[in-house]
Structure 1
Amino acid sequence: MAVQMSTQLMKVVGVLRYEPIAKRIRGLVGGEVVVDSTGALLVWEPRRVVPSYAVPGGDVLGELVPAHTTEVSGRPVRLAPGWPSVYDPSTAFALHTAEGEALTLRSGDGELEGAAFRPADPDLSQYVVLDFDAIDTWLEEDEEVVAHPRDPFHRVDVRRSSRYVRIQRDGQLLAESKRPNLVFETALPVRSYLPPEDVRLDLLEPSPTRTACPYKGQASYLSFPPEAPDIAWMYERPLPDAVQLTGLVAFFDEHVDVTVDGEARVRPVSLWS
């Protein structure tokens, strides 16, 4: 019997997972290298949807001592009916869903409390999982990585299209275009990135919100006041792999009404619903 791949992958989201990577991984704090490894892994703790870097303990250039951690809560999110609830990237690293020991990393610039975790699992017990956000700069080879490590099983495909896309909110037309760039990203809704000339920018206001994506770069946001803050976003200087998206505007389909070639789409359920 045939199986749907996304369903199969979600069946293992509740277990501790890892994948070796061939890239040299370095982490810097205050300009000082505190992690340098050519034997790194990507590790997903149970119910986590994005990975963390893990390196052999000897590749951490500092002292690792038991952490004085406090209890951390996180709000699990259900991505789709029938799928298990998961923790999104905003959930603090200190919320561990695998057995193991939380560690503090001491280096020349001080202590990074709870920034490391040694899993109890025998396959990973010689490795230390690291808090991406606790390190100032991460490098894969000589290129900086932002937001979180890239997932080798995650794709982002940008395709030019001639589909006719209309976007409304509460009956107000916000955008319409016959020249969208469609972004097909693993496990996420299809996103329509539209030329700014095809968007009612006069109805939108700039927002101070900024987010980062390891595949696309830093995004700035637009709001539809007063009831729809941060309803749209754009990448003014995207990463090289997403240069086609420069200056284009995308909307959260979860919060607008989208019609494609005259067919209304159901608002998707996702981490941003």
Structure 2
Amino acid sequence: MVAARALANRHEPEDHRSMATSLDEVTKSQVDLLRWTDMRRRVRAFVDGQAVVDSAAPIQVWEPHRVVGCYAVPSADIEGLLEHHRPTMPPAEHPPILTPAHPFALHTASGATYDIVADGRMLAGAAFRLDDPDLADYVLLDWDAFDEWREEEQTVMGHAHDPYQRIDCLPTSRRVVVRIGDTVLAESRNPTLLLETHLPPRHYIPRQDVRMDVLQRSDTVTVCAYKGQATYWSALVGDEIVPDIAWTYTDPLHDAEPVRDLICFYDERVDLEIR
């Protein structure tokens, strides 16, 4: 009976159709893997104005569960010694997603941690060498251990640049209204839509379309590797201060130049109407 069924099935047409694949889902499905990519650019890291790392062959490495990678270079491209070898294993438990807020020392792949010693200075725990044989000659580097990073001659802010990450700034004529309760904070028919890979869309609004009389400067400052340094605004709504509800890039990096001095609100903390 089995043979007969097999013979009958030989004459049935094959279905070559497959389900469509979302690239966003593909990316998410790989987050628990050790990943790397060639950077194809010169990368340097400085301490006190001196280049401790200078590599024309860097890669970027994402340890499992990390959504932001780190630079890794051949050990010969480090101007110093790797000392105090310490075998390092992944912890039994860790958050499902690791961001730059989680320390470099939280490693989710097995390897060894080293200090970098250069010109008498020790950068404690600044290097990590993976056990993975494909990456055996590469040393992962702690972003925060260095004063400055450059790709070619461009200073890099915040964290390593992801070659698969980009931003688009698109003028739009759609009407955007921002409210908290009954208070209108902004209304514009001339916003700029900023799209950033894997992040929610954001609407940046000209100041003339924002209720600047209800906004107050905050002391909060953040850094984005692709947009630059952002300063923040709180809102006075009735008798309540809503802290850090909006932000501005007053001196953006090149790709974010179209949103210079525009104001963006946290969509998830306001009532946003788009038409």
Q: TM-score range by the shorter chain?
A: 0.7 to 0.9
Report the identity percentage.
44
Q: Closer, same or farther in 2 for the Cα pair 1:74/1:191, shift >3 Å?
A: farther
2:145 aligned with 1:134 = yes
- Alpha-carbon distance in structure 1 between the residues aligned to 2:137 and 2:20: 38
Counterparts in 2 of 1:196-207, with a 5 A limit?
A: 196-207=207-218
Counterparts in 2 of 1:224-239, with a 5 A limit?
A: 224-225=235-236, 226-239=240-253
Partner of 1:80: none
TM-fit CA distance, 1:228: 2.6
> Tell me, which stretches of 5 or more residues in structure 1 are unaligned?
77-84, 262-273
Tell me if the contact between 1:163 and 1:178 (Cα under 8 Å) persists in the aligned partners: yes
User: The residue matched to 2:27 in structure 1 has which SS?
Assistant: helix
Partner of 1:211: 222
- Alpha-carbon distance in structure 1 between the residues aligned to 2:120 and 2:203: 44
2:127 aligned with 1:113 = no
State the AA in 2 paired with 1:35: V
- Greater share of helix: 2
- Alpha-carbon distance in structure 1 between the residues aligned to 2:113 and 2:21: 38
The Cα offsets for residues 170-209 of structure 1, whole Å up to 9 and x where unpaired, read as: 3321111000000011111100000011111211111111
- Alpha-carbon distance in structure 2 between the residues aligned to 1:228 and 1:73: 39
State the AA in 2 paired with 1:193: Y
TM-fit CA distance, 1:129: 0.4
**Alignment coverage as a number of residue pairs:** 253
State the AA in 1 paired with 2:215: L
2:270 aligned with 1:259 = no
- Alpha-carbon distance in structure 1 between the residues aligned to 2:61 and 2:130: 10
Partner of 1:165: 176
State the AA in 1 paired with 2:110: E
Tell me if the contact between 1:73 and 1:95 (Cα under 8 Å) persists in the aligned partners: no
Tell me if the contact between 2:190 and 2:205 (Cα under 8 Å) persists in the aligned partners: yes
- Alpha-carbon distance in structure 1 between the residues aligned to 2:122 and 2:217: 38
User: The residue matched to 1:86 in structure 2 has which SS?
Assistant: coil
Aligned mate of 2:71, from 50, 53, 57? 53
Q: Closer, same or farther in 2 for the Cα pair 1:40/1:18, shift >3 Å?
A: same
Tell me if the contact between 2:82 and 2:114 (Cα under 8 Å) persists in the aligned partners: yes
| C-alpha RMSD of matched pairs (Å) | 2.1
Partner of 2:264: 250
TM-score between the two structures when normalised by the length of structure 1: 0.88
Counterparts in 2 of 1:56-75, with a 5 A limit?
A: 56-66=74-84
User: The residue matched to 1:96 in structure 2 has which SS?
Assistant: coil
Counterparts in 2 of 1:5-16, with a 5 A limit?
A: 5-16=23-34
Q: Closer, same or farther in 2 for the Cα pair 1:66/1:73, shift >3 Å?
A: farther
> Tell me, which stretches of 5 or more residues in structure 2 are unaligned?
1-18
9-18 or 107-116: bigger deviation = 107-116
- Alpha-carbon distance in structure 1 between the residues aligned to 2:194 and 2:139: 34
Partner of 1:148: 159
TM-score between the two structures when normalised by the length of structure 2: 0.87
Partner of 2:50: 32
TM-fit CA distance, 1:231: 1.1
State the AA in 2 paired with 1:150: H
